[in-house]
Amino acid sequence: MRLRSLLLVSAFFLLTGTAAAQSASSSSIGGVTLSVTDGRTTISPGGSTIYIVTASQSTQPTRDVTITLEMPLGTDLITADNGGTVNGRTVRWGNATLTQNTNRIFTAQARALNSLTNGTVLTAVADAGGTQATDTTTVQSGAAGAKSYALTFTDNASTVRAGPTLNYVLTIADNSASAQTATVTVQGPSSLTVQSGTPLPTSVGTNGASWSNVAFNAGETKTFTFNALISNDVRTNTIIDTKATVGATSLADLTRVDNNASSSSSRSSIR
């Protein structure tokens, strides 16, 4: 019987009356890593946004996780993924399993009520037994600074030895109010060779790949994966800088080569 521990992960949204710029963060305590983002700085009253909560752990082969999402007065829950159940303003994903050093992503779409006033700050706080990460978005009528997409991008490793294959995961949430089409590209350094991708890329270069004319429905989330091989001759302390771009939104994933390391450690990038 495999060992399991129960971990409560919760993310909740708070409304405050003070203005603040968008800020997304990730945090790791006791082997548990969390991040939360909606990929935007402002939102109009009545506007919708998608929050991405990413959880991982590094201490056991698997850990059972219950994830909750608490929505405050002033926002409506529209949808939740992965079979999340809704009770009032609480979304719950029960008995989710976190595999060691592998991210698991959960999303929920929220709507800012029409009655919200300019300057109101929506603060998303993810919590896992003391590990916290926050994201804030400010209500602004006619908000023009909102990004069309929220991204998470990771190879699930902060350090790696030269030679192995990195497995990248790119999650894209469409924050727009209507369907749109975009080209998705990933580009790495010359020491990285892209081998395959899912869905099948439109084109694959030596160190990059692209998916053309990807159609997103309003509020839709899509996941792209690809594998890339690190050259055997890459030296210790070389940074593998790989960038994902969707429309005008870009996000980099940084992995340091350490040829003396016995294993890799995990983390994720968010925007």
Across the range 240-264, mean pLDDT stands at 83
- pLDDT score recorded for residue 4: 39
The identity of residue 95, as a single letter, is: N
12 has a pLDDT exceeding 50: no
Q: Per residue in 65-77, pLDDT tens?
A: 777 777 766 777 6
What does the longest C-alpha to C-alpha distance in the chain come to? 59
- pLDDT score recorded for residue 242: 92
Sequence-separated (6 or more) residues with CB below 8 Å from residue 269: 152, 153, 154, 251, 252, 253, 254
Q: Which two tokens stand for residue 102?
A: 């592998």
226 has a pLDDT exceeding 90: yes
Indicate the SS3 state at residue 46. coil
Q: Partners of 123 in the beta sheet?
A: 14, 136
Name the nearest CA neighbour of 206 among 223, 183, 231: 231
Q: What is the DSSP letter of 72?
A: P
Pair 74, 15: CB distance under 8 Å: yes
Q: Which two tokens stand for residue 119?
A: 């300057």
Dist. CA 19–CA 25, nearest whole Å: 18
Across the range 97-120, mean pLDDT stands at 85
Dist. CA 107–CA 251, nearest whole Å: 18
Instruction: Give residue 9's pLDDT band: very low, low, confident or very high (50, 70, 90).
Output: very low
Dist. CA 64–CA 134, nearest whole Å: 23
224 has a pLDDT exceeding 90: yes
Q: Per residue in 156-204, pLDDT tens?
A: 888 888 888 899 999 998 877 778 889 999 999 988 899 889 999 998 8
